[in-house]
A and B are shown apart, each in its own frame.
Chain A
Amino acid sequence: AQRVTQPEKLLSVFKGAPVELKCNYSYSGSPELFWYVQYSRQRLQLLLRHISRESIKGFTADLNKGETSFHLKKPFAQEEDSAMYYCALGVDYGQNFVFGPGTRLSVLP
């Protein structure tokens, strides 16, 4: 069965420090990986997806098929990055979608 794991429920870093939110998946087919973010009092929204290979708000994520990982990274965290981050997996050519349990990132001043 398809599964997404995010080992950290809560991650706290100081402003300016590097941050890495871990994500691992299990899927036998060709995965489509995403990071969605929910800021306080805002809707869940797409942050980035692996097929775009772009940097959004300073965040990047590289799909590592060998390690089945899609970790989210940012070299210098900002206070406005504090939010709930969900790693997600699209499977079966878009027929199904699986979210990880989420990691709450808290960036301290």
Chain B
Amino acid sequence: DTAVSQTPKYLVTQMGNDKSIKCEQNLGHDTMYWYKQDSKKFLKIMFSYNNKELIINETVPNRFSPKSPDKAHLNLHINSLELGDSAVYFCASSLRGSADEQFFGPGTRLTVL
């Protein structure tokens, strides 16, 4: 019974393409997040989304956009993919805010060729 799930697990695509990664949580949590983990295993928050309030990390390019159709989903859309976007992307959720325990998805490894 997976708490936080992401699809796809692996995504290989060409530069310039537009792609989406889906995230779903069945924990009834209010807040969801997207993180990027680079090749050096450094984790950086991209977005947090709570009750329709989106908090964006200002360093994230506007080619990245989160979309939340409902409280249980927070999808990540990426336009005009670049080589530097290659990374592992993690979705997470927490009951209220980041002061609560965050539950992470398995990650999506994106490779841009």
What is the chain A residue whose CB lies nearest that of B53? Answer: A95
B-side interface size class: 20 to 34
What is the chain A residue whose CB lies nearest that of B41? Answer: A102
- State the CA gap A72–B80 with chains docked (Å): 41
Total chain A interface residues with beta-carbon distance under 8 A: 21
Interface contact A97-B101, CB-CB below 8 Å: no
Interface contact A94-B98, CB-CB below 8 Å: yes
Interface contact A45-B43, CB-CB below 8 Å: no
Main secondary structure of the interface of A (DSSP, over half): strand
- Residue from A43, A97, A98 whose CB has the most chain B CB atoms within 10 Å: A97
Interface contact A32-B99, CB-CB below 8 Å: yes
User: Which A residues lie within 8 Å of B90 (CB)?
Assistant: 44
- Across the interface, A95 reaches (CB within 8 A) one of B41, B43, B97, namely B97
Q: Footprint of A on B, CB under 8 Å?
A: 31, 33, 35, 40-45, 48, 55, 57, 90, 92, 96-107
Supply 19 A–B pairs (Cβ within 8 Å), ascending by A: A32-B98, A32-B99, A36-B102, A44-B92, A45-B103, A46-B102, A49-B101, A90-B98, A94-B97, A95-B55, A95-B97, A96-B45, A96-B48, A96-B57, A97-B45, A97-B48, A97-B98, A101-B40, A102-B43
